[in-house]
């Protein structure tokens, strides 16, 4: 697979944060029926008890993560699946699918990445005592949005 990194190099020149935020806003509105808007990072420090992640390979190489507390992850699942969504497995599946849709929506908004960037299957980590270390140590963009009044962190880490 061709690993053309020109998109990663350009990410320093282009401002991808508004594109990422738009992708998140669209997914939350379509899938969860909720309007979300970015907030200042200093105002909200979320408890990251759930982290959903999607790997990107090809013209973009890295990882996209969606992090929130357990209560918020439960609200995501209920908004997506209805009041019957109660098990940790259903909550993890819902958050993983939201992460997958944000990654796909984001990459489709970037000219030329649609067919030259592949996404992995979503993975979800749950619990309060973990650290996530990504080997994608290049550039990183992050946004915090409020969903049902609680912060959700969306982070894109790209490898150079």
Residue 111 lies in a domain: yes
**Residue 121 buriedness (CB in 10 A; 0-12 / 13-18 / 19+):** exposed
**Whole-prediction pTM value?**
0.86
Question: Tens digit of pLDDT for each residue in 28-75?
Answer: 999 999 999 888 776 666 678 999 999 999 888 899 999 999 999 999
**Does residue 102 belong to any structural domain of this protein?**
yes
Residue 141 lies in a domain: yes
pLDDT on residue 3: 45
Name the one residue in this structure whose structure tokens are 């992050």.
142
Domain with 44 in it: what CATH number? 3.40.1550.10
Q: Is residue 1 part of a domain?
A: no
7 in Cβ contact with 59 (< 8 Å): yes
In a domain? residue 150: yes
Query: Is the four-CA dihedral 30, 36, 38, 44 of positive or negative sign?
Result: negative
| Alpha-helix runs per DSSP H in the chain | 6-11, 17-32, 70-81, 88-109
Range of the domain at 113: 6-158
Q: Is residue 152 part of a domain?
A: yes
> How many structural domains are present in the chain?
1
Paired tokens of 71 = 């209560």
């Amino acid at each position: 697979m061709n690993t053309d990194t020109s998109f990663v190099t350009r990410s320093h020149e282009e401002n991808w944060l508004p594109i990422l935020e738009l992708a998140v806003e669209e997914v939350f509105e379509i899938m969860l029926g909720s309007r979300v808007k970015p907030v200042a990072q200093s105002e909200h420090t979320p408890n990251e008890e759930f982290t959903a992640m999607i790997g990107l390979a090809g013209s973009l190489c890295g990882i996209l993560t969606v992090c929130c507390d357990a209560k918020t992850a439960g609200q995501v699942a209920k908004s997506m699946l209805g009041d019957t969504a109660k098990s940790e497995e259903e909550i993890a599946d819902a958050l993983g699918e939201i992460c997958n849709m944000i990654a796909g929506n984001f990459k489709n908004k970037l000219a030329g990445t649609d067919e030259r960037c592949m996404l992995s299957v979503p993975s979800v980590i749950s619990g309060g005592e973990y650290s996530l270390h990504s080997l994608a140590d290049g550039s990183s963009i992050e946004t915090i949005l409020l969903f049902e009044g609680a912060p959700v962190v969306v982070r894109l880490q790209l490898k150079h």
